[in-house]
Amino acid sequence: MDPTALQAIAANNDWVTIFPELLLGCVALVLLALEIVLPVKYHSYLPGVALFGVLAIIPSQIISLRPGFLLEGDTFNGLLHQSHDSQVMRVFFLVTAVLVCLLGTVSLAKQRMPHTEFYHIVLVVTAALMLLAQSNHFVMLFVALETVTIGFYILVSYFRTSPLSLEAGLKYLILGALSSSILLFGIVLLYGAAGNLMRPGHTGSPMNFDELAGFLAANPHNFLAGVGIVLVLSGVAFKIGAFPFQIWVPDVYQGAPTPVTAFLAVGSKAAGFVILLTLVRTFSAYAWLTLPILTLMAAATLLFGNLAALTQHNVKRLIGLSGVSHAGFLLLGVIAAATVPMAFGAVYFYLFAYLIASFAVFGVMAHVAGPNDADQEISHYAGLARERPFLALVLAIGLGSLAGIPPLAGFMGKLFVFIGVFESGHYGLLAVAVVSMVISIYYYFSWIRAAFFETWTPPANAEAVSPRPALTPVTVPLFVMLGLLAACTILLGFYQGPLGDWLAAR
């Protein structure tokens, strides 16, 4: 190869752009080293080290969003593509990591488990999520996605003394690996189709999204590429828990430790949607194929998620199935984004509102849960408002936002998505969405009702119903976190601030 070309490739490896990911990886390694070096009595400071590491990266990442500092364009020879969206999503994943670490301090304290590895894996997975948000090449996408998924296999089965956690881990492993294989086979077919020398517009680098989009535009009805696109979309649909790939959601959400359930619900789902937005843009020449699939998937996901959640008694299964219906709302945004650019912003805003509200709810769940993490019934919340008014208030605000009650942030998120869907003219989908939103209010409010209007009575036959675990006291960092999340949920409903400006700028 020509040496100047190699030099150009080397100069394109702009390591500064992935500095946050490198730093996260370093903090993760430092944690493991500190665990070996420090005496056991100092080990309680290790979560603090992880938190401090992530919190230190967030300001630099937010500064890089300012106009003068924003990095845009391809780096690493087209493997990564930095844009304003990917920078915002990197902040999103960093915030998720902070919240997961904070929840980890509550849930892990109830188990006799090694703690440090949990934070290590959370940081590594976060770094991979951030790379995923910038990936512009199928190799990058696959490797980052697998780093995330394999990290999640470990996290889901982290409570390894609990058979339920291990069972959830195994189910996630089998179905996760299945979906990754389907995604991979789709990538192979796209690679083969776009590199075919007999076709017009064939390319030497068919796994690069820009090059692939060029090929697809030149061959809008290639059979092999069509099959590849369907397989890739199926693989991604599994990650976001969209119908008919949602079967793993309730079991895995129930068995996983609560902080991991939160990480799965928010981090993994957001990653899926970031990929989906990129891929739908890449596959825009095949909109005749992708849009009908996504439309059917969105309608089925919305209805299934909400109807299945109606009958749940376990709050983790309930939040999992409600997460399926949220994936349906987000899919609506993705479909609208194919024609209405404003819907891109709506999807991102929805993700932020979902992040804040979900972690408020998961924060309360972590405090109500007992030593058996999989056993969290709605009946355990009876009388919460009297015993812990603060937790009950945060729960009500979080659930209200998830249900989309005005004027909370979740309502604004749904409103923006609905405006996008209306402008793109999918009226049928809009009707399905409104109906499922009404259904969802029922199960969210039965949970709020348990917390506010019911008192805990010991059941007559104590064998049949699991006893209610003692509430965990709220520590200062968790108090600040839950208070901030609740305040943000209310505030974002009234004033969207810079996030709203960014939304409107499209």
Partner 1 sequence: MITATLNEYIILSVVLFAIGFFGVLLRKNTLVIFMSLELMLVASTLGLVAFSRYNHTLDGNVFVFFIFTVAAAEVAVGLAIIVALFRKRHTIQVDELNALKN
- Residue 428 binds partner 1, judged by CB under 8 A: no
Token pair of 327 as six digits: 């994936």
Q: How many residues bind partner 1 (CB under 8 A)?
A: 51
Conformation bin of residue 497: beta by default, left when phi > 0, alpha when psi is -120 to 50: left
Cβ proximity to partner 1: between 183 and 347 the closer is: 183
DSSP character for 284? G
Nearer to partner 1, 86 or 162 (CB): 162
**Residue 177 in the binding site for partner 1 (CB under 8 A):** yes
- 466 touches partner 1 (CB under 8 A): no
Binding mask 369-408 for partner 1 (x = CB under 8 A): -----x----------------------------------
Instruction: Give me 59's structure tokens.
Output: 């300001």
The CA distance from 290 to 296, in Å, is 10
**Closest distance to partner 1 from the beta carbon of 202 (Å):** 8
Nearer to partner 1, 431 or 465 (CB): 465
At closest approach, how far in Å is the CB of 208 from partner 1? 9
Shortest Cβ distance from residue 370 to partner 1 (Å)?
17
Contact between 169 and partner 1 per CB under 8 A:
yes
- State the amino acid at position 320 in one-letter form: G
The answer to whether residue 132 forms part of the interface with partner 1 (CB under 8 A) is no
Query: Is 286 a residue that touches partner 1 (CB under 8 A)?
Result: no
Residue pointed to by tokens 């948000």:
133
Binding residue for partner 1 (CB under 8 A) from 48, 73, 192, 341?
192
Tell whether residue 113 is a contact of partner 1 (CB under 8 A): no
Using the minimum distance from each CB to partner 1, give the nearer residue, 86 or 254. 254
Selected binder of partner 1 within 3, 39, 68, 204 (CB under 8 A): 204
Please report whether residue 154 would count as binding partner 1 according to CB under 8 A. Answer: yes
| All residues at 6 or more sequence positions from 413 whose CB lies less than 8 Å from its CB, including other chains | 329, 346, 349, 350, 352, 353, 354, 404
Choose, by CB under 8 A, the member of 241, 250, 345, 400 that binds partner 1: 250
Q: Provide, rounded to whole angstroms, the least separation between the CB of residue 393 and partner 1.
A: 28
Please report, as a single letter, which amino acid is at residue 40. V
- Looking at this protein, which amino acid is placed at residue 432? V
Closest distance to partner 1 from the beta carbon of 169 (Å): 5
Task: Round to whole Å and give the CA distance between 219 and 205.
Answer: 16
Range list of H helices, 112-162 = 116-134, 138-156
Q: Give the contacts of 431 (CB within 8 A, at least 6 positions apart).
A: none
CA atoms of 434 and 425, how far apart (whole Å): 15
- Measured from the CB of residue 99, what is the shortest distance to partner 1 in angstroms? 25
Secondary-structure percent of the chain, ordered helix, strand, coil, rounded to 5: 75, 0, 20
| Residue ranges in 305-344 that form contacts with partner 1 under rule CB under 8 A | 311-314, 317
- The yes or no reply on residue 195 touching partner 1 (CB under 8 A) is yes
What is the rounded distance in angstroms from the CA atom of residue 350 to the CA atom of residue 329? 9
User: Where in 22-41 is the site for partner 1 (CB under 8 A)?
Assistant: none
Q: Tokens 């990197």 correspond to what residue?
A: 90
Only one residue has tokens 């709506």, namely: 346
Write down the residue that tokens 């492993």 correspond to.
173
Q: If you count them, how many residues does the chain have?
A: 506
166 lines the binding site for partner 1 (CB under 8 A)? yes
- Tally of CA atoms within 13 A in the half-sphere of 249 that contains its CB: 33
Q: How far is the CB of 421 from partner 1 (least distance, A)?
A: 32
Answer whether 319's CB lies under 8 Å from 309's CB: no
Minimal distance in Å, beta carbon 429 to partner 1? 29
Interface with partner 1 includes 413 (CB under 8 A)? no
Among 102, 130, 133, 207, interactor with partner 1 by CB under 8 A: 207
Q: Which residues of 126-143 are buried (b: 16+ CB within 10 A; e: fewer)?
A: bbbbbbbbbbbbbebbbb
Near partner 1 by CB under 8 A, which window of 47-55, 175-183, 212-220, 466-474?
175-183
Residues that bind partner 1 (CB under 8 A): 138-139, 142-143, 146, 150, 153-154, 157, 160-161, 163-164, 166-171, 173-174, 177-178, 180-182, 184-185, 187-189, 191-192, 195-197, 202, 204-207, 250-251, 254-255, 311-314, 317, 374
